[in-house]
Chain A
Amino acid sequence: MATETLIWLIPLPPVLAFFLIVLFANKNKALSHTLGVGAAGLSWLASMVVFVRALSVEHLGEHPFHASVNWLPTGETWFKIGVLIDPLGAATLFFVAWTIFMIFLYSVGYHNFGQPKGDHDRPGLPPHGATVTDAHGHKHTIPSVEPMYSRFFAFLGLFAFGMYTLVVSDNLLTLFVGWEIMGLCSYLLIGFWYGKPSARNAAIKAFMTTRVGDVFMLLGIVFLYSVTGTLSFREIFTNEELMHALGTTATPVLGLSAAGLIGLLLFIGTVGKSAQWPLHVWLPDAMEGPTPVSAMIHAATMVSAGVYAVIRMFPLLSLDPATMSIVAFIGAFTALFAATIAVAQNDIKRVLAYSTISQLGYMIAALGIGAYVAAAFHLITHAFFKALLFLGSGSVIHGMEHGVLHTGNHHVDPQDMFNMGGLRKKMPITFWTFLIGGFALAGFPVVTAGFWSKDEILADAFAHGHLAVFITLAVAAFLTAFYTMRQITLTFLGEPRTEEAKHAQETPWTMTVPLIVLSVFAVTYGWVGIPEHFPLLGGLVPNWFHEFVGSTLAEHPEAVPFSPVPLLTSLGVALGGLLLGWLVYRNVKSPAEDKLQLPVLKNKWYFDEAYDFLFVKPAYWIAETLVYKWMDKGVLDGILHFIAHITGVIGAAIRNYIDLRVINETIGDGTANTVKWMGFNLRPVQTGRIQQYMLASFVVLIVVGAVLYYFLVMA
C-alpha cells in the first residue's frame, strides 16, 4: 500500500470503533474493549509502518509524504485538505501511537474488566466494589467493573481519532478540527463520572478555559488564511517570498508583524490547550477524570497537541522576535510557577498535573528561544515518561483502592500520598516503572530520556545567551527533581502509614505491561538524541533525533557547541533536587510535618480565587443581575408590560366609548328604543272603536274622492 494511502487510514480505526461501540456494542463489555483496543492497535500498526518507511527516506524534510484532495471550491482555486508526514510528524506519530495504544490496553485493567458487577454501582459514579463469598464462606469486597465501560472506550476512540487527525494533517484547518474533537472528548472524559459534582465542574472548567484559547487560535487561522489564501503548512513555509512578506508586514497590534501576530494568536490557542499560564487552571481540576484519561489528556495527546501546533508553526513564529520573547517568557514563567505549586500538593495525580504544566512550559520556553529540536525532543520524551507516571499513579491508586476495599474504611483517600508509604514491596512493578518515570522527569543523569531532552534545552538556552530563561528553567528543574523525589518517597519508600497501604495489591497485567513498555521508552528514547560533543558518550550513538527532526525546517538548525556550564547545572539540579527531596521527606509522617505546605502554594497562588473574582463572579453578575434582573425583567419585560398596559387601555377605551356607547346604546338599543317609542306614541291612534275607524275611512274616502274628482274630471 502506498504510504500516503496508509497515512490517510491511520485516524480511521478509532473513529470506526467509536461508532461501532456506540451503535452496536455498548451492551457488551468484552466486544467494546476488543473493538477499542483493536482499533488502537491497527492505528498503531499503520503508524509504525509509516514511521519505518519515513526513516528510510533520504531528505524526508524536503520530500515528505504528502497527499491532498480538493475539498472546498474557493472561487477559482480549491481549498485542499490532506495528510503530511515530515520528520516532525513522523516523530510525533511514533510517540502518539505508542502512548495511545498503551493507554487503551491499560484502561481494560483500570476499569476492572472481568470483575463482577458492583453491589450498588451506578452509571456516572466510580465503581464502589462488589461483595463476593469464597469457598470457605468468607465475604470479601473486591473491585467491581466500571458501569459505563463501553462508553469509556467509545470516547477514548474518538479522542484517539482527534489526535491522529491532528498529527497527520497537512493544514491548519484539519489540525484545528482534530484539536476541537479532542476538546470535546476531554470534556466528556473529564466529566466521565458525571455523578460527582466536582467532575462536572472540572469538565465545564476545562471546556470553557480551553475555549478561550481556541477562539484566539481560530482568529489566527482566519487571519493567516485571509493574508496567504492557504492554510497548508508546506505551501506557506516553503514559499520564501510569502514568508518574507509576512515577516515584514506591520500590524496595528503591539507593533508585531503579520507573522508575529498570527503566531501569537495561534500560540494563545496553545496556551489554552497546553495549560500554560494564565490559562493553566483547568488542567489540575481535570484530574477528576479516570486516570487513563489523565494520561491521555495530560501526556500523550491533548497537551502535546498544543505544543505540537506551535512547533509546527515555528517557522512563522520565528519571523518575529517580539512573539518569540512572549512565548519564551510564558513558557519559562509557567515552568517555574507550576513547579512551585507541585511542591505543596498531596494528591498523587495533582502533583503530576502541575509537573505536566511545568514541563510543557519547558517546551514552550525552548521554542521561544529558538530551540526547535530540543522542544520537539522534550515533547516526545515527556510524553513517554509522563504517560508512564500517570499510568503508574493510576496503578498506585488502584492498589490503594484495593486496600480501601479490604479494610472497608471509605474515608481514606486513595489518592492522598500521605496515606501511602512503603508501596515498593506491595507493588514492585509499579514501583520500579514509576521510579524510572520519576527519574526521567527529574532528569536523572545519563540513563534517563528526560535528562537528555532537558539538558538540550538548557544547553540551547545557555548557548544562545538567554540567561534569564536558563536560570528560570534551571530552578524549575531543581524543583521538579525535588517534588518528584518527594512523591516517590511519600508513596513508595519508608513504611506504610495506613492500614490501607499495607493491604495494597499489585495490579493486573493489562496495567503493568503498558507501564513496562513505556518505561523502556522513558529510558531508551533519550539515547537517540545524545549530543555529538557530549563527553565520553557523545558520538557513540549518532545524534539521530537532531538530524532527523531538524531537517523539517528549511534551514537546518546547528547543533549547539558543548559547554560544561549547562551540563553541570543540569547534573547539579537533578541530583541535588532528588537528594534533597529524599532527605526532607523520608521521615515525614503527616501533612503537618511538611514544612513546605505554604498556604500560597497549597492554594495554587490563588489563581482559582482570582479568576473566580475577576471572571466567574462578574459573569454570574452579568447573567443574573444585569441581564436577567435588569435587562430582561426590567427593561424588556417593562416594555412588554407597558405595551400590554397600553393595549389594555386602548381596549377599555374602545369598549367603554365605542362598543358600549355607540354600538350598544346608540345603534343596538337605540333602534329598539326608537321602535318602542314610535309604538308607544302611535298606540293611541288605534282606539279599538270601530266608529272612529269608519269615520277615518269616510274622511279618507271623501278626500281621495275629491282629489280624484279634481284630477280626473276637472282637469
Chain B
Amino acid sequence: MIPLSWYLVLSALLFSIGLFGVLARRNAVAILLGIELMLNAVNINLASFWRYGNPAQMGGQVFAIVVFAVAAAEVAVGLALIISIYRRRKTVLAEEIDLMKW
C-alpha cells in the first residue's frame, strides 16, 4: 500500500503549484484556477487522512464534499465577477482592475 507521505507530497506539490499560480499569474481566470488547485490539494489531504486514519469516521469525506460545494460556489461567483469586469473594462488582468486605487 502506498504510504501516506506520498499523498501528502502530491498534495503539497499540487498546493504549491496552485499557490504559485495565484501569486504569479496576471490573468484573473488563471488566479481562480490556482485557487481551485489549492482547494483540491486540500481535498487530497482530507481524503488521505480519512483513509489512513479511522475510516469509520466520515468527517474527512464530509469535509471534502463541503469543500467541493464551496469551490463550486466560489467559481460561480468568481467567474461571474470576472465576466462583469471584463464587460466594463475589457480586461481580466488583475493589476489593471484599479478603480479603487489611489
Contact = CB atoms under 8 A, between A and B. Distances in A.
A309 B94 CA distance: 123
B19 interface: yes
A120 interface: no
Given A689-B94, A689-B95, A694 B23 contact: yes
Interface in A675-697: 683, 686-691, 694-695
A691 B100 contact: no
Nearest to A694: B23
Given A689-B94, A690-B94, A698 B100 contact: no
Interface of B: 19, 22-24, 31, 94-95, 98, 100-102
Contacts of A683: 102
B6 to A, nearest CB: 23
Closest 10 CB pairs of A and B: A688-B101, A691-B23, A689-B95, A695-B23, A688-B98, A694-B23, A683-B102, A690-B94, A694-B22, A691-B94
A538 B31 CA distance: 159
Contacts of A695: 23
B45 to A, nearest CB: 17
Interface of A: 683, 686-691, 694-695, 698
A686 B95 CA distance: 13
Given A688-B100, A691-B22, 6 more contacts: A686-B101, A688-B98, A688-B101, A689-B94, A690-B31, A698-B19
Contacts of A687: 101
Point out which of B31, B100, B102 has the most chain A C-beta atoms below 10 A from its C-beta.
B102
A691 B98 contact: no
Q: Interface on chain B toward A: helix, strand, loop, or mixed SS?
A: helix
Contact of B24 (A686, A690, A691): A691
A694 B31 CA distance: 12
A97 B10 CA distance: 147
Nearest to A686: B102
B2 to A, nearest CB: 28
Nearest to A690: B94
A692 to B, nearest CB: 9
A691 B20 CA distance: 10
A684 to B, nearest CB: 9
Contacts of A686: 101-102
Point out which of A683, A686, A691 has the most chain B C-beta atoms below 10 A from its C-beta.
A691
Contacts of A689: 94-95
Nearest to B28: A690
Contacts of B100: 688
A698 B102 contact: no
B86 to A, nearest CB: 17
Nearest to A692: B23
Contacts of B31: 690-691
B99 to A, nearest CB: 9
Contacts of B24: 691
5 contacts: A687-B101, A688-B100, A688-B101, A691-B22, A691-B24
A699 to B, nearest CB: 11
A357 to B, nearest CB: 108
Nearest to A679: B102
Contacts of A688: 95, 98, 100-102
A155 B76 CA distance: 118
Given A686-B102, A688-B100, A691-B31, A698 B95 contact: no
A8 B31 CA distance: 128
Point out which of A686, A690, A694 has the most chain B C-beta atoms below 10 A from its C-beta.
A690
A371 to B, nearest CB: 121
A694 B24 CA distance: 10
A353 to B, nearest CB: 106
A689 B95 CA distance: 6
A686 B100 CA distance: 11
A688 B95 CA distance: 8
Contacts of B94: 689-691
B30 to A, nearest CB: 11
Contacts of B22: 691, 694
A690 B98 CA distance: 11
Nearest to B22: A694
Nearest to A689: B95
